Amino acid sequence: MKIDHPNAAPLSDEQLRVLQSVKQRLDAMVSSHGLTPEDVQELVREIKNHPLISTQLMAEIRSEVTRLMPGQRFTFDWD
């Protein structure tokens, strides 16, 4: 199911660079020791403080984690 947000906009070039950096970090984690729920929580804590975070960027990051770890459930809580 695709949900469109009314104020959604494509990712900016800067956000795309942030996304690429996150993807590279996730790939490194997976290849070195696997991706744990704690890794995801640490990453979310760091990302939520990033000035370029947006709903769209977070959705892309969720998608990447799901791609890397199919069938696993991860929490992306902001708390």
pTM: 0.68
Q: Decide if pLDDT at 1 tops 70.
A: no
HEC states along the chain?
A: CCCCCCCCCCCCHHHHHHHHHHHHHHHHHHHHCCCCHHHHHHHHHHHHCCCCCCHHHHHHHHHHHHHHCCCCCCCCCCC
pLDDT tens digit string along 25-77? 888 888 888 878 788 788 878 887 888 788 888 888 888 888 877 887 766 66
Q: Domain segments of the chain: what residues?
A: 14-25+35-67
pLDDT of residue 3: 45
